[in-house]
């Protein structure tokens, strides 16, 4: 069984440098009195829904657009997204052998012909440039921006260090520079906030980079999980047409993700779902009348 959410939250806070972006509750849009996962037990059934409707229209005061899932139509599409997390100060741990990559997961997705979007930090691309380049050049995948540093863009975000407001846009653009240096040809103009934490100030700060913020509506619960079947069940219970699922491509912090994917993929296909990249879901929204 997945450890209780309180235990997961404690690990996330105490191990801030390993903090993964998908927690056991919906991404929150700001900072006042955050409903941290430790404040209540995990839901027993479906994954929580995002409170904001999906939109690509700029928010008030010139904020960046935000996307969480496609319209709920009869088109059974679902986007699996994988956060390749690595903070700016984890180089020593990587040098000591800690694995922030997960090549077995990428190989499994390739073997099953599953399109996916990888939200990559610039620091991850620097640490694993050969893998970053291979993912970015594979038409099965697309690379999107998860910041350079994996530091939070709001206060009180699961124990993560924070980016100063005046440095937020630079952090996003530094990640794109790291992708280019690694040989990723065309990273997508999509951005996922570390920890899923953002507010109006953060949205305004990243707007100048021309990105769409991409959240999710299905939390896999793979961060620090030890039970692959439980992760798979949580995803399968939460997926709806147009869903965006958040998972992780960081072996040390999400060790059972590849095994869970091997359960999730055939079952969703049996249910009639088609796997797509985030760009296809966003294209469906942009194409609405």
CB contact at 8 A, 84 and 124: yes
Taking the C-alpha atoms of residue 287 and residue 239, their distance in angstroms, rounded to an integer, is 22
**pLDDT per residue over 189-230, tens digit each?**
999 999 999 999 999 999 999 999 999 999 999 999 999 999
pLDDT value at residue 252: 95
Taking the C-alpha atoms of residue 289 and residue 286, their distance in angstroms, rounded to an integer, is 8
pLDDT value at residue 60: 53
pLDDT value at residue 79: 98
CATH 3.40.1350.10 fits 72-286, yes or no: no
pLDDT value at residue 284: 82
C-alpha torsion sign, points 276, 278, 281, 287: negative
Look at the chain and count its residues.
289
CB contact at 8 A, 143 and 132: yes
Give Cα separations from 7 to 154, 174, 229, 231 (angstroms). Answer: 23, 34, 19, 16
Taking the C-alpha atoms of residue 146 and residue 224, their distance in angstroms, rounded to an integer, is 19
From first to last of its 289 residues, the chain has per-residue pLDDT tens of 333 333 333 333 334 434 445 554 444 444 332 332 322 233 333 333 333 334 455 555 678 999 999 999 889 999 999 999 999 999 999 999 999 999 999 999 999 999 999 999 999 999 999 999 999 999 999 999 999 999 999 999 999 999 999 999 999 999 999 999 999 999 999 999 999 999 999 999 999 999 999 999 999 999 999 999 999 999 999 999 999 999 999 999 999 999 999 999 999 999 999 999 999 999 988 765 4
CB contact at 8 A, 241 and 77: yes
| Strand residues in the chain grouped as ranges (E) | 66-67, 77-84, 116-120, 141-145, 190-191, 212-214, 218-219, 243-248, 274-275
């Amino acid at each position: 069984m997945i450890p209780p959410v309180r235990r997961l939250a404690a690990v996330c806070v105490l191990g801030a440098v390993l903090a993964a972006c998908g927690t056991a509750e919906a991404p929150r849009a700001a900072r006042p009195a955050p409903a941290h996962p430790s404040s209540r037990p995990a839901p027993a059934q479906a994954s929580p829904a995002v409170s904001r409707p999906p939109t690509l229209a700029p928010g008030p005061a010139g904020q960046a657009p935000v996307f969480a899932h496609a319209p709920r139509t009869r088109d059974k599409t679902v986007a699996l997204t994988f956060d390749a997390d690595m903070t700016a100060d984890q180089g020593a741990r990587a040098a000591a052998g800690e694995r922030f990559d997960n090549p077995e997961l990428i190989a499994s997705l390739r073997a099953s012909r599953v399109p996916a979007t990888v939200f990559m930090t610039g620091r991850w691309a620097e640490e694993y440039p050969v893998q970053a380049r291979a993912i970015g050049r594979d038409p099965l995948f697309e690379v999107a921006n998860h910041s350079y540093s994996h530091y939070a863009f709001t206060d009180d975000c699961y124990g993560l260090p924070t980016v100063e407001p005046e440095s937020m846009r630079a952090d996003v653009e530094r990640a794109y520079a790291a992708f280019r240096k690694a040989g990723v040809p065309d990273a997508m103009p999509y951005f996922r906030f570390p920890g899923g934490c953002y507010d109006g100030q953060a949205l305004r700060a990243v707007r100048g980079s021309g990105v769409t913020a991409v959240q999710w509506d299905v939390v896999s619960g793979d961060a620090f999980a030890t039970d692959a079947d439980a992760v798979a069940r949580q995803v399968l219970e939460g997926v709806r047409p147009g869903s965006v699922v958040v998972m992780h491509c960081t072996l040390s912090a999400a060790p059972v993700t590849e095994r869970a994917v091997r359960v999730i993929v055939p079952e969703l296909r049996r249910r009639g779902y088609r796997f797509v990249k985030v760009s296809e879901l966003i294209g469906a929204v942009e194409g609405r009348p």
